[in-house]
A and B are shown apart, each in its own frame.
Chain A
Amino acid sequence: MKLKRKDLLGLEELSREEIELILDTAIPMKELFTRTVKKVPTLRGKTVVILFYEPSTRTRVSFELAAKRLSADTVNISTSASSVVKGESLIDTAKTIQALGADFIVIRHPNSGAPHILSKYVSCSVINAGDGMHEHPTQGLLDLFTIREKKGRIEGLKVGIVGDILHSRVARSNIWGLKKMGAEVYVIGPATLIPKDIESLEVKVYYKIEDVIDKLDVINILRIQRERQKEHLFPSLEEYSEIFGVNFEKLKKARKDLLIMHPGPMNRGVEISGDVADSKNSTILEQVTNGVAVRMAVLYLLSGGGEIETST
């Protein structure tokens, strides 16, 4: 099986089979990391342009490493040091990058749908590395990969996502991916940060972690942003932390094997307590490692690569 698409814009449009293909392909990619030479020549001669309109460390570095381990050439464009500050439009920037010979554009953008608009104007592959409040498909995929690796399956698991669901592209990609893979999804957060009609995506809404924690196999804790206070979405970070901050007190009734996830970067002591973040149930650093493997799989499959037969 091959991934028959030009772009990866979101998990909403992927089928379960396509998601499984990406996750399966990420397994041999991850095995590479244990070798002394962590590099294969698969994408030699290809150019990956990483175009970030927002500050980011982990996603940007993760994509760069993924491309490099596949022997692609990488170019990093951060918009603060490019012609974007001179007023160049998104579409002109995209066309310019294509004219420079890019095979992939990996884009992070503060506005939902920016990668979709861009993809209409370029023939190279566009990978969405997070667009506004919409999707962050490779984060969704790496979360699925991590859950499957730790739990052996995704089907039938109960996964809770805690925090600012309204503004979270991680939440949306996770919801689409988890639902397609047969998990049950619970979203937990302040009523002001639960988007309208989310129930129609067949997720269950809770306003209290304690009401649902005993059911969950996985809890994915989202970063909360201080700026949201100004938009009347919650009164203070302190109150947020008291009600929705995940600590061992709130995890009293949790299953012993509860998997604790966080897409990073963490606000320790706000949405997650330090001891929970560092506990044996936490898989936060493993998520980061898996991110590289999943992004290698995505680059490989979008360049036309097929299923990899695992030797083991």
Chain B
Amino acid sequence: MKLLLKGGRVIDPESGIDEILDIYIEGDRIKRIGKNLKIRAKVINLRGKVVGPGLIDLHTHLREPGREDEETISSGTLAGAKGGYTSLCSMPNTEPPCDSVSGVKFITTTAKQQGVIRVFPVGAITVGRKGEILTEIGKMKKAGIVAITDDGLPVMNSLVMRRAMEYTKMFDIFIISHPEDINLSKNGVMNEGVVSTKLGLRGIPRQSEEIMVARDIFLAELTGCHLHLAHITTEKSVELVRDAKKKGLKVTCEVTPHHISLTEENVIGYDTNCKMNPPLRTEKDRRALIRGVKDGTIDVISTDHAPHLDTEKEREFDLAPFGVIGLETALSIVLEFLYRKREISLSDVFKIMSLNPARILKNDDIGRIQVGKLADIVVIDLDKECLITKDFFVSKSKNSPYIGKKLRGFPVLTICGARIVWKSKDFS
């Protein structure tokens, strides 16, 4: 396969490139980058488009195995491709959970056969995600995991978490913490505060997150393990991470597109597509998250793409499951709330959605538009507008809080290892 991408505005945050350039792809790698390249190849004209490294999601729920009615490796990776992603990390809270070598192999094999983009499996920390016995982390690493987490649940026992972090350190992979004190958040369905009081919904106090952010930072200090904090949502959590980084600890973190764009006020009306864990917080927290992105405290935007069926979501707020999908709207939300509001540059968009995730994965082959790297590329039309309806999504689930909203800035072409994995209908 030989491809010549002509005349796009090429952005690579690592090298600082931001100019009109051609990219020549041969095999599955970028062979040349330059002005007015004249090479015999299939030419794709990208004038007026932005060309960046394919997005990488550190936090995707693919639901397979177990809940193939909600999402599969096939549908989830297609949703990723449509959203501009070329790699994603699959969370282990499937049924059964990915807590063994066979579980990991199932994902890598299925992803190879049916996946549209790259899938990096994440293994469980404890057997059955029960928080008790460590999984065979070494064997799972050999089978291909890039990290471990019991995501959806925290490891409540601090000793187990300590041991997991000490042990994981040996394998040069990282541990993802779902920071939540489940005793403190018990029965809660939204942020605790004036809105939960008004709506008569049980609250999840911010402290249930912050206590565990603090605990896991302390344990990272104790063990020297690379700790990645999933979906942080509060001002205090950002401060805790900022301080940890100042101390030089190996701590990274992510925020979701919904937490930088929505607040607890969106729950008014009992929209279950605004029910997620951690919950939407206050405007003050939202502002603090954006400040955290700007000053580099927050490394990554992760989707926490969590598919659920309409039949599960269209019901009483208390009884609906937590979670929203995000792969297909993440980029538009980041462009709207961070780039167009002049909080960060376009290069930074690729930094937090591609380069930084690649760095956290310690993968030098992706997240960059540089000669010799894998040809994982996203082409974006910054002006393309879409009214988000249920029909918009290729994901098997439609539980998006942005349904009914008009978003701007979408991928029109996604290339993964030189294969075109997504092309929008209006792109010729």
Cross-chain contact B317 with A117 (CB below 8 angstroms): yes
Closest to A176 in B: B198
Cross-chain contact A112 with B201 (CB below 8 angstroms): yes
A135 vs B199: C-alpha distance when bound (angstroms): 8
Closest to A53 in B: B316
Chain A residues contacting B202 (CB-CB under 8 Å) are: 133
Cross-chain contact A200 with B194 (CB below 8 angstroms): yes
A89 at the interface (CB under 8 A from B): yes
Interface string of B188-223 (1 = CB under 8 A from A): 000011101111111101000000000000000000
A123 vs B130: C-alpha distance when bound (angstroms): 46
Cross-chain contact B197 with A113 (CB below 8 angstroms): no
Cross-chain contact B194 with A112 (CB below 8 angstroms): no
Cross-chain contact B193 with A197 (CB below 8 angstroms): yes
Residue from B192, B269, B311, B318 having most chain A Cβ neighbours under 10 A: B318
Main secondary structure of the interface of A (DSSP, over half): mixed
Cross-chain contact B193 with A196 (CB below 8 angstroms): yes
A7 vs B311: C-alpha distance when bound (angstroms): 24
Identify B316's interface contact among A12, A90, A172, CB under 8 A: A90
Chain A residues contacting B69 (CB-CB under 8 Å) are: none
CB proximity to B under 8 Å, residues A83-125: 89-91, 109, 111-114, 116-117
A237 vs B138: C-alpha distance when bound (angstroms): 53
Interface size bracket, A side = 20 to 34
Cross-chain contact B197 with A197 (CB below 8 angstroms): yes
Cross-chain contact A196 with B316 (CB below 8 angstroms): no
B270 at the interface (CB under 8 A from A): yes
Residue from B194, B196, B198, B318 having most chain A Cβ neighbours under 10 A: B198
A306 at the interface (CB under 8 A from B): no
Given contacts A111-B317, A116-B269, A117-B316, contact A135 B200 (CB under 8 A): yes
Identify A197's interface contact among B194, B201, B269, B317, CB under 8 A: B194
B319 at the interface (CB under 8 A from A): yes
Cross-chain contact B200 with A169 (CB below 8 angstroms): yes
CB proximity to B under 8 Å, residues A130-170: 131-135, 169
Chain B residues contacting A89 (CB-CB under 8 Å) are: 311, 314-315
A200 vs B197: C-alpha distance when bound (angstroms): 10
Interface size for B (C-beta < 8 A) is: 21
A155 vs B269: C-alpha distance when bound (angstroms): 30
Cross-chain contact A132 with B196 (CB below 8 angstroms): no
Cross-chain contact A113 with B196 (CB below 8 angstroms): no
Closest to A132 in B: B200
Interface string of A34-48 (1 = CB under 8 A from B): 000000000000000
A233 vs B315: C-alpha distance when bound (angstroms): 29
Chain A residues contacting B314 (CB-CB under 8 Å) are: 89, 91, 117
The minimal Cβ–Cβ distance linking A233 to chain B, given in whole angstroms, is: 12
Cross-chain contact A196 with B194 (CB below 8 angstroms): yes
Cross-chain contact B199 with A113 (CB below 8 angstroms): yes
Cross-chain contact B197 with A91 (CB below 8 angstroms): no
A198 at the interface (CB under 8 A from B): yes
A75 at the interface (CB under 8 A from B): no
Cross-chain contact A112 with B318 (CB below 8 angstroms): yes
Chain B residues contacting A112 (CB-CB under 8 Å) are: 199-201, 270, 317-318
A114 vs B319: C-alpha distance when bound (angstroms): 10
A196 vs B206: C-alpha distance when bound (angstroms): 12
Closest to A197 in B: B194
A304 at the interface (CB under 8 A from B): no
Given contacts A91-B315, A109-B316, contact A195 B197 (CB under 8 A): yes
Chain A residues contacting B269 (CB-CB under 8 Å) are: 116
A113 vs B268: C-alpha distance when bound (angstroms): 9
Chain B residues contacting A195 (CB-CB under 8 Å) are: 196-197, 203
A172 vs B195: C-alpha distance when bound (angstroms): 12
A90 vs B318: C-alpha distance when bound (angstroms): 13
Identify B201's interface contact among A12, A113, A200, CB under 8 A: A113
The minimal Cβ–Cβ distance linking B427 to chain A, given in whole angstroms, is: 37
A285 at the interface (CB under 8 A from B): no
Closest to A136 in B: B200
A172 vs B203: C-alpha distance when bound (angstroms): 16
A201 at the interface (CB under 8 A from B): yes
Closest to A116 in B: B270
A109 vs B317: C-alpha distance when bound (angstroms): 12
Given contacts A132-B200, A201-B198, contact A113 B270 (CB under 8 A): yes
A131 vs B197: C-alpha distance when bound (angstroms): 14
Chain B residues contacting A197 (CB-CB under 8 Å) are: 193-194, 197
Cross-chain contact A114 with B197 (CB below 8 angstroms): no
Chain A residues contacting B203 (CB-CB under 8 Å) are: 195-196
Cross-chain contact B196 with A196 (CB below 8 angstroms): yes
Cross-chain contact B196 with A111 (CB below 8 angstroms): no
Closest 10 CB pairs of A and B: A134-B200, A113-B270, A133-B200, A111-B316, A112-B200, A197-B194, A195-B197, A111-B318, A113-B317, A200-B194
12 more A-B contacts (CB under 8 A) besides A172-B200, A196-B192, A196-B193? A91-B314, A112-B200, A113-B199, A117-B270, A133-B202, A134-B200, A135-B200, A169-B200, A195-B197, A196-B197, A201-B194, A201-B198
Contact surface of B with A, Cβ cutoff 8 Å: 192-194, 196-203, 205, 269-270, 311, 314-319
- Could you pull out 6 A-B pairs where Cβ atoms are within 8 angstroms? A91-B314, A112-B270, A195-B197, A196-B194, A198-B197, A200-B194
